[in-house]
Amino acid sequence: MPPKDKSTTKSSTSSTSETGVFSQVQYVKGVGPRLGAVFASRGIESVRDLLTFFPRAYEDRTRLKTVATLEEGIKSSVAVRVLSSRKIQMRGGRSILEARATDDTGTLSLKWFHAPRGLDARLAAGTQIIVTGTPKLYLGRHEMIHPEISWGQSTEVSDLNVGRIVPVYTELDGIPSRSFRKVLWEAIQKFGASFPEDLPETCRARHSLPTASESIREIHFPSNEEDIPALVGFATRWHARFIYEEFFKFEFFVLQRRLRMQRELARPVGVAGGRKAADDLEASLPFELTGGQKVAMKEILDDLARDHPMNRLVQGDVGSGKTVVALLTAAAALAEGAQAALMAPTEILAEQHFKNTQKLLGGRIRTALLTGKTPESERKVLLERLRQGEPLLLIGTHALLEDPVEFAELAVVLIDEQHRFGVEQRRTLRKKGGDRIPHALLLTATPIPRTLALTAYGDLAVTTIRELPPGRSPIRTEVVLANQRARTYELIRSELRAGHQAYFIYPLIQDSEAEGFTSLRSAMTEAETLATEVFPEFKVGLLHGQLRPDEKSEIMDRFKRGELHILVSTTVVEVGVDVPNATIMVIEHAERFGLSQLHQLRGRVGRGSAQSYCFLLSHPRVGELTAERLKVLEGSQDGFEIAEADLRLRGPGEFLGTRQSGALPFRMADLVRDKDWLIKAREDVIELLQVDPHLDRPGQKPLREFLAREGRLQMELLKTS
């Protein structure tokens, strides 16, 4: 059992005020200034930071095993007596500390490659210890590498590390696990009872959740040793309490921000001819919009007509027609004398948008292009047109963010592949609208799972376009082991002879000697191999991010014109490149990419009526998880289904791109495992903001105090635009 609970002693009750929890971590017994500095360097500055540094797992150390019953690979605790210890000298002056120990059922070898100072002296013959580690067989004897030690006989041991359910934490350099648990125990004894309650009482009661102070103690040092499966699965009521609280706070901030956006002023668009102009332009298109595109346009035009800024995300699979929706939105603004800006992440994509706009709309709206290679003379003229307020759609890259770019009448901001831009970049563009915030339409071809839409993008209205334009053929996708490529090359050769084109994608630009990369094929090396050895009868081009913008444009234009049969590239072609004649996508080392990125790359083919193929070349000896990921892509064309699988297998980082750090500050909650709690928290926040938006009722005092303490900082962290 754990050490005696000292919560009723004079020392623990002398600091029960809430301010104690927010004091520096150095004031916890056993820490002090030196160790406090180590904690602070790991992001643990206050006592509260320490108490909310939650376990990542739990180990059942309630029962000791004997040496004879140890199982290889199964972490266990065993009480033994040291027989001997020695230092084994290695080359280079290094040494290994080895101790032999027994419990009379067998002998166990203990080894430390980086032994703590003084450990050898403590491991004297006859010393009773309990060791915890993962045994393995070596020369017929069990051994443990770097085991955790508790000193004393099994009948004497009564600490935090054996004989109980033991929390396991993410390792902090310079702070041994045993020391960390001891510090946490001391912190809970002195400060646990004063841990602040931030949840409204009504919400806590509605879901029968325990108090924060109760939960903190039980999460770190569980008293119910029978509930091991629930602990391991983070499914106890104590865990649920903080899972719910994290979601509740997050949703409160993002939904409150959406309400605040509705009180800011924007220029209404569509009320003075803009809606009709968009309708007329839609009618002139050489194709009919899909049902999803029409729904998107209605939602967007309804938003634009209001006098507060639209903040909408349009998500749709590759090729679903988001760009057309964006152009029609811009047309509505230009028809009423306003200006619009469309920002793309790369020059290739910006130039393609510009050319497609001219081709599709035939000059029916004024459009200009601004990138890093725009000549200075053209740039000056264009900037003056903007300052004079000329109705204009400006398409560009990050160049739109530069200080000389000033709009007189910016009403609509369109951001393509929004996850490629940081929050500050999106804010910078919107600030160019002057006193009135421009409407914002964010576009993404990476479908966002529902849980991410409710959290990372919770302050945005979301429109989803699911249909693809008619005439698109499903892409045949196949996982090909890298040692089986000959058959694949033959199919590619037949496609090229039929007049089609192919992409070959590589994870590296050039060969690398860096650790973990020496076995990877690179674009530069393989372009030469493909051109001279594999497909010598076809012309091969090379595209990568280190080329000058004009070089990239020239290569891309040659590929579009059919002068190049094969385009070897890095992921620079992931978005925006549109060559309907390309029917082959080959992705080398597919195991190195995320599912959503692979789906994006696959979307570069299948843009015409001919059958297209995507080959995922993978190493034969990938792990089970990697194989499962690739099978998902092989079996599905649905970007939304793939996105959900990617979230489940890889976590939210795959989708968030350059979003600000701290955007998902969840220490306990998991978007996949705990999605039901996310929905409950969101529903509770919506109800709260409807019935008591200013938190005037007495039961909201905990939440009011939390907002007064941390609200402004949290709100800034969570802004998405």
- What CATH number has the domain bearing residue 564? 3.40.50.300
Q: Is residue 496 part of a domain?
A: yes
pLDDT for residue 333: 95
Does residue 482 share a domain with residue 439?
Answer: no
Percent of the chain at pLDDT above 70?
91
Does 671 have pLDDT greater than 80?
A: yes
Per-residue model confidence as pLDDT tens digits over 462-493: 999 988 777 677 899 999 987 788 899 999 99
Does residue 454 share a domain with residue 324?
Answer: yes
Contacts of 576 (CB under 8 A, 6+ apart): 344, 346, 348, 349, 352, 353, 416, 417
More confident residue, 52 or 445: 52
Q: Are 361 and 327 in contact (CB under 8 A)?
A: yes
pLDDT for residue 239: 95
More confident residue, 651 or 244: 244
Residue with tokens 């791109």: 657
pLDDT for residue 533: 94
Mean pLDDT in the chain? 85
Does 259 have pLDDT greater than 90?
A: no
pLDDT for residue 583: 95
pLDDT for residue 261: 78
Amino acid identity of residue 468, one-letter, is L
pLDDT for residue 659: 44
Q: What integer is the mean pLDDT of 113-125?
A: 85
Q: What are phi and psi of 630, to 5 degrees?
A: -65, -35
Contacts of 223 (CB under 8 A, 6+ apart): none
**The pTM is what?**
0.71
Q: Is residue 171 part of a domain?
A: no
Q: Are 308 and 266 in contact (CB under 8 A)?
A: yes
Does residue 511 share a domain with residue 401?
Answer: no
Does residue 596 share a domain with residue 544?
Answer: yes
Spatial distance between the Cα atoms of 628 and 426, rounded to a whole number of angstroms? 36
649: its two tokens? 């297998």
CATH, residue 99? 2.40.50.140
User: Hey, what's the torsion of the CAs at 522, 527, 530, 535, to 10 degrees?
Assistant: 150
* pLDDT band for position 719 (cuts 50, 70, 90): low
Q: Is residue 153 part of a domain?
A: yes
More confident residue, 583 or 153: 583
More confident residue, 74 or 511: 74
pLDDT for residue 712: 67
How many domains would you assign to the chain? 3
pLDDT for residue 156: 40
Per-residue model confidence as pLDDT tens digits over 636-667: 888 888 888 888 877 776 555 544 434 567 88
Does 229 have pLDDT greater than 90?
A: no
Percent of the chain at pLDDT above 90?
40
Does residue 629 share a domain with residue 480?
Answer: yes
Q: Are 555 and 567 in contact (CB under 8 A)?
A: yes
Amino acid identity of residue 214, one-letter, is E
From the list 134, 7, 8, 125, the residue with the least C-alpha distance to 72 is 134
Q: What integer is the mean pLDDT of 120-138?
A: 89
Top-ranked range on mean pLDDT: pick from 126-140, 155-169, 417-431: 126-140
Does residue 503 share a domain with residue 603?
Answer: yes
Helical (H) or strand (E) element with 77: strand 76-89
Q: Is residue 406 part of a domain?
A: yes
Does 181 have pLDDT greater than 80?
A: yes
Does residue 81 share a domain with residue 146?
Answer: yes
The lowest-confidence range among 42-56, 211-225, 428-442, 642-656 is 642-656
Q: What integer is the mean pLDDT of 434-456?
A: 83
Helical (H) or strand (E) element with 644: helix 639-650
Q: Give 26-66 as a DSSP string.
A: GGSTTTHHHHHHHHHHTT--BHHHHHT---SEEEE-SSPBP
Alpha carbon distances (Å) from 243 to 20, 46, 175, 232, 718: 24, 21, 27, 15, 18
pLDDT for residue 274: 93
Does residue 509 share a domain with residue 458?
Answer: no
Spatial distance between the Cα atoms of 217 and 211, rounded to a whole number of angstroms? 10
Does residue 407 share a domain with residue 372?
Answer: yes
Residue with tokens 């006098």: 307
Last residue in a domain, options 163, 178, 194: 163
Q: Is residue 319 part of a domain?
A: yes
Last residue in a domain, options 134, 163, 192: 163
Does 248 have pLDDT greater than 60?
A: yes
Does residue 582 share a domain with residue 460?
Answer: no
Q: What integer is the mean pLDDT of 39-54?
A: 91
362: left (phi over 0), alpha (psi -120 to 50) or beta: left
Does 501 have pLDDT greater than 90?
A: yes
pLDDT for residue 512: 73
Last residue in a domain, options 586, 606, 636: 636
* pLDDT band for position 720 (cuts 50, 70, 90): low
Per-residue model confidence as pLDDT tens digits over 372-405: 888 999 999 999 999 999 999 999 998 999 889 9
Q: Is residue 711 part of a domain?
A: no
Q: Are 395 and 425 in contact (CB under 8 A)?
A: no
Does 301 have pLDDT greater than 60?
A: yes
Per-residue model confidence as pLDDT tens digits over 323-377: 999 999 999 999 999 999 999 988 888 988 998 898 888 788 999 999 988 899 9
Does 109 have pLDDT greater than 60?
A: yes
At residue 587, the 3 state secondary structure works out as strand
Q: Is residue 361 part of a domain?
A: yes
Does residue 615 share a domain with residue 488?
Answer: yes
Q: Is residue 669 part of a domain?
A: no
Domain span holding position 530: 475-636
Per-residue model confidence as pLDDT tens digits over 506-551: 988 987 766 566 678 889 999 999 999 999 999 999 998 888 878 8
Distance between start and end Cα atoms, the chain: 51
More confident residue, 152 or 137: 137
pLDDT for residue 157: 39
The lowest-confidence range among 276-280, 293-297, 450-454, 461-465 is 450-454
* pLDDT band for position 226 (cuts 50, 70, 90): low
Does residue 345 share a domain with residue 448?
Answer: yes
